[in-house]
Amino acid sequence: RPKVMRVDAKDMGADLQQVLITKEEIDAKLAELAAKIDAEYAGKDLLIVGVLKGAVMVMADLARALSTPVTMDWMAVSSYGAGTQSSGVVRILKDLDTDIKGRHVLIVEDIIDSGLTLSWLINNLGSREPASLKVCTLLRKPDAAKVAIDVEWVGFDIPNEFVVGYGLDYAEKYRNLPFVGTLAPHVYGG
Ligand code: 5GP
Ligand code: MG
Ligand code: MG
């Protein structure tokens, strides 16, 4: 389990409550995942697909941890729904530049919560006839278990709390924090 520690005010002001996963823990986990992904795709031509914007940090660090040569592409999707709840109705804001027919594709995600966005994405990309389609996510929340999706590689299973940092935002802020942490309740009106 990730260790929980109190964070220095100088690192993030009073907005953050605690660090859930440190930069060192993320680095170690990505190295571990990269070794498994290298083994899976040895001798194959791999395309990794990042889902903007949250997956930017994981894509950048995972890609550099891999020995397998990869090409990278990006998708941006928006999930309709009120507030912080995902509805499963998804709109493509930016599609892939790549034709993935016959390619080995790995979707790289920051976090899976309800899993609705991902399950839509798997259907959408799956219909383009890739040679294979697998998923790697840095974080997964408990609700993801309610959806029948196969996630090959998971970094950390985390509690059902709203987290920010390492690509994840609250109102577009905190994406550049090098660690994953929870917000102080006063930030979101708690
Ligand atoms: P899902 O469709 O799995 O419910 O939602 C996936 C998306 O919701 C993620 O890619 C992310 O943008 C957002 N999300 C879900 N949980 C969190 C969280 O704890 N913190 C942040 N910042 N975004 C989250
Ligand atoms: Mg995401
Ligand atoms: Mg967001």
Does 51 fall in a domain? yes
Q: Is 95 a catalytic residue?
A: no
In angstroms, rounded to a whole number, what is the distance separating the alpha carbons of residues 54 and 75?
Answer: 11
* pLDDT score at 146: 83
Does 106 fall in a domain? yes
Q: Does ligand 1 have an atom closer than 6 angstroms to the CB of 169?
A: yes
Band (pLDDT 50/70/90 cuts) for residue 26 is very high
> Which residue among the candidates 113, 150, 157, 169 is catalytic per the annotation?
113
Task: Give the residue numbers spanning the domain of 122.
Answer: 23-159
* pLDDT score at 9: 41
Does 185 fall in a domain? no
Does 183 fall in a domain? no
Least confident of 5-9, 122-126, 186-190: 5-9
Does 18 fall in a domain? no
CA 130–ligand 1 middle distance (angstroms): 26
Can you tell me the mean pLDDT for 162-190?
Answer: 91
Does 137 fall in a domain? yes
Residue 132 has pLDDT above 80, yes or no: yes
Closest residue (by CA) to atom 9 of ligand 1? 111
Q: What is the CATH number of the domain that holds 143?
A: 3.40.50.2020
Q: Does ligand 1 have an atom closer than 6 angstroms to the CB of 181?
A: no
* pLDDT digits 0-9 by tens, 4-24: 445 554 556 678 999 999 999
End-to-end Cα distance, the chain: 26
CA 141–ligand 1 middle distance (angstroms): 9
Does 187 fall in a domain? no
Q: How many domains does the chain have?
A: 1
Q: Does ligand 1 have an atom closer than 6 angstroms to the CB of 180?
A: no
Does 189 fall in a domain? no
Give the mean pLDDT of the chain.
90
